C-alpha cells in the first residue's frame, strides 16, 4: 500500500503492448506533493508510456499506480483530476481562448460566476488576459502553448502531466517557456510530471530527474547530482556533454583507482562502480573540468594535439587527440583567448582526480 510521503506512486509496474516485450519493467517510483519530476530518456525508453498510464490512457500490465494514496488503474482519465499539456497544444480551433479555458470547467459543472474568476486567474497567470477573445490560430506558437498550459491549470488539478510540451517551439521561445513553466510551478506549488528527451530542458526545470533507458530508471536524482555524479556510462553520456576514455583498471585504492588507457597512459579517477583490478572501465570527464596549458599542477597530466577549434561566442570548443581518443572536447572560456591555440599544435592537458569518474562497462 502507499505511504504518506508519496503523492504519486508507481509500484512494481510493468507494461507490455504485445504480451511479450516489456516497454516498462518493474517500475517503482515515488513523487512528492509539489514536486517537479522530469522523466528523461531517448525514444522508446518507456517515459511516455509511464505518463500515459498515469493519465489513464494506458493500463499497467502488472502492478499499481497510486495518486494521493488511492489506486487509480481502474479510474477513467476524466475522473482522475489531472491536467494534461501536449506537444501539439490540442486546443479547440473553433473556440476562443476564453472558451477553451471554460470548457474543462463546464464539463466539471462549475458555477458560471466561478468559471469567469478561474478563467481570468489562469489567463493572468500566463500573461494572456488581453487575448481572451482571440482564436487559437490568431496566436503565435508560444502563445498557444501558454493557453494550453492555462487550460491544464484552470480547474486547479491535483497533478499536471506534460508530454514534450515545448518540442514544437524554436530554441529561444523554448528556453523562455522553460523559465515560465518553472516560475508558475514555484508560484502555485502544483505537482508536475514532465516528459522530455531534451536534457538541458530537464536540468533547467526539475526538482528531480528520472533517467529512463530500456524501460527502467537508470538513475533518479536532482539535476546537479545527475550531472556531477552520474552512476553509469549511459547517464554520463545522456546528461550533458561528456568525454569518455577507455581502459582497464590497473589498481584500486579505497575511493580512487588507476585506469590504464588503450595507449598506455595511467589516469587517476574516482572509483564509482568498479569492483576488480583488470575490469574494463570507461573514464567519464566533463569538458569544462579540463585545463589546457595550466600553470597549476593536477594529478592527471597528458600531452595532446589540437585537432579542431570552433568559436561559440562565450567559449572555444576545442577538440583534442589524447590517450587514444581524437574526439576529446575541452571548453576553453573566451576570456582565455590568450592561450592562442592553433590546429595541429601540441598542448599540455590536465585535470583533477575527483573530476574523472571510473565507470564499469557492460
pLDDT score of 362: 66
Q: What is the pLDDT along the chain (362 residues), one digit of tens a residue?
A: 444 578 999 999 999 999 889 999 999 999 999 999 999 999 999 999 999 999 999 999 999 999 999 999 999 998 899 999 987 778 899 999 999 999 989 888 889 889 999 999 999 888 888 999 999 999 988 899 889 999 998 888 989 999 998 887 888 888 888 998 998 899 889 999 999 999 999 999 999 999 999 999 999 999 999 999 999 889 998 998 899 999 999 999 999 999 999 999 999 999 998 889 999 999 999 999 999 988 888 999 999 999 999 998 888 999 999 999 999 999 988 876 656 789 999 999 999 999 999 998 86
The set of cell numbers assigned to 14 is 510493468
Are 20 and 168 in a shared domain? yes
Query: Domain boundary at 200, 233, 266, which?
Result: 233
Domain of residue 121 covers: 6-233
Are 80 and 182 in a shared domain? yes
Are 56 and 108 in a shared domain? yes
pLDDT score of 4: 52
In Å, what is the CA distance from 195 to each residue of 111, 142, 245, 338? Answer: 33, 18, 31, 42
Q: Is residue 32 part of a domain?
A: yes
pTM: 0.89
Q: Is residue 34 part of a domain?
A: yes
Is 37 in contact with 31 (CB distance < 8 Å)? Answer: yes
Q: Is residue 27 part of a domain?
A: yes
Are 105 and 179 in a shared domain? yes
pLDDT score of 169: 81
Q: Please count the structural domains in the chain.
A: 2
Helices 97-107, 112-125: inter-axial angle, 10-degree rounding = 130
The set of cell numbers assigned to 316 is 572555444
The burial class, CB within 10 Å (0-12 / 13-18 / 19+), for 202 is: buried
Q: Is residue 1 part of a domain?
A: no
Q: Is residue 160 part of a domain?
A: yes
Are 190 and 275 in a shared domain? no
pLDDT score of 62: 96
Is 358 in contact with 249 (CB distance < 8 Å)? Answer: yes
Query: How far is Cα 40 from Cα 151, in angstroms, rounded to an integer?
Result: 24
At CA 198, angle to CA 193 and CA 199, rounded to 5? 90
Cell 462549475: give the residue.
110
**79, HSE (Cβ side, Cα atoms, 13 Å):** 7
At CA 103, angle to CA 137 and CA 152, rounded to 5? 80
Q: What is the C-alpha R_g of the chain?
A: 24
Are 42 and 166 in a shared domain? yes
Beta bridge partners of 15: 24
pLDDT score of 170: 85
Amino acid at each position: 500500500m502507499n505511504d504518506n510521503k508519496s503523492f504519486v506512486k508507481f509500484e512494481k509496474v510493468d507494461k507490455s503492448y504485445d504480451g511479450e516485450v516489456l516497454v516498462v519493467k518493474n517500475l517503482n517510483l515515488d513523487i512528492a506533493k509539489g514536486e517537479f519530476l522530469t522523466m528523461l530518456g531517448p525514444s522508446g525508453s518507456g517515459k511516455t508510456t509511464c505518463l500515459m498510464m498515469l493519465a489513464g490512457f494506458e493500463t499497467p500490465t502488472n502492478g499499481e499506480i497510486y495518486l494521493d494514496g488511492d489506486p487509480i488503474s481502474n479510474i477513467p482519465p476524466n475522473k482522475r483530476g489531472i491536467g494534461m499539456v501536449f506537444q501539439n497544444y490540442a486546443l479547440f480551433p473553433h473556440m476562443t481562448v476564453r472558451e477553451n479555458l471554460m470548457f474543462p470547467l463546464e464539463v466539471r459543472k462549475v458555477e458560471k460566476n466561478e468559471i469567469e474568476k478561474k478563467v481570468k486567474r489562469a489567463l493572468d497567470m500566463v500573461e494572456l488576459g488581453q487575448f481572451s477573445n482571440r482564436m487559437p490560430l490568431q496566436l503565435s506558437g508560444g502563445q498557444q502553448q501558454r493557453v494550453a498550459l492555462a487550460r491544464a491549470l484552470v480547474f486547479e488539478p491535483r497533478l499536471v502531466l506534460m508530454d514534450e510540451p515545448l518540442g514544437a517551439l524554436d530554441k529561444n521561445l523554448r528556453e523562455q517557456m522553460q523559465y515560465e513553466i518553472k516560475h508558475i510551478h514555484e508560484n502555485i506549488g502544483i505537482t508536475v510530471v514532465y516528459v522530455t528527451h531534451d536534457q538541458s530542458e530537464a536540468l533547467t526545470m526539475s526538482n528531480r530527474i528520472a533517467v529512463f533507458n530500456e524501460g527502467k530508471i537508470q538513475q533518479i536524482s536532482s539535476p546537479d547530482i545527475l550531472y556531477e555524479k552520474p552512476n553509469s556510462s549511459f547517464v554520463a553520456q545522456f546528461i550533458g556533454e561528456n568525454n569518455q576514455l577507455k581502459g582497464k583498471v590497473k589498481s584500486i585504492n579505497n575511493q580512487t583507482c588507476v585506469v590504464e588507457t588503450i595507449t598506455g597512459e595511467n589516469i587517476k579517477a574516482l572509483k564509482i562502480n568498479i569492483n576488480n583490478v583488470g575490469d574494463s572501465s570507461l573514464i567519464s570527464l566533463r569538458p569544462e573540468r579540463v585545463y589546457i596549458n595550466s600553470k597549476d599542477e593536477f594529478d592527471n597530466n597528458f600531452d595532446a594535439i589540437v585537432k579542431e577549434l570552433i568559436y561559440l561566442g562565450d567559449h572555444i570548443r576545442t577538440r583534442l587527440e589524447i590517450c587514444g581518443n581524437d574526439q576529446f572536447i575541452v571548453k576553453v572560456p573566451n576570456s582565455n583567448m590568450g592561450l592562442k591555440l592553433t590546429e595541429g599544435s601540441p598542448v599540455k592537458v590536465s585535470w583533477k582526480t575527483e573530476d574523472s569518474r571510473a565507470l564499469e562497462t557492460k
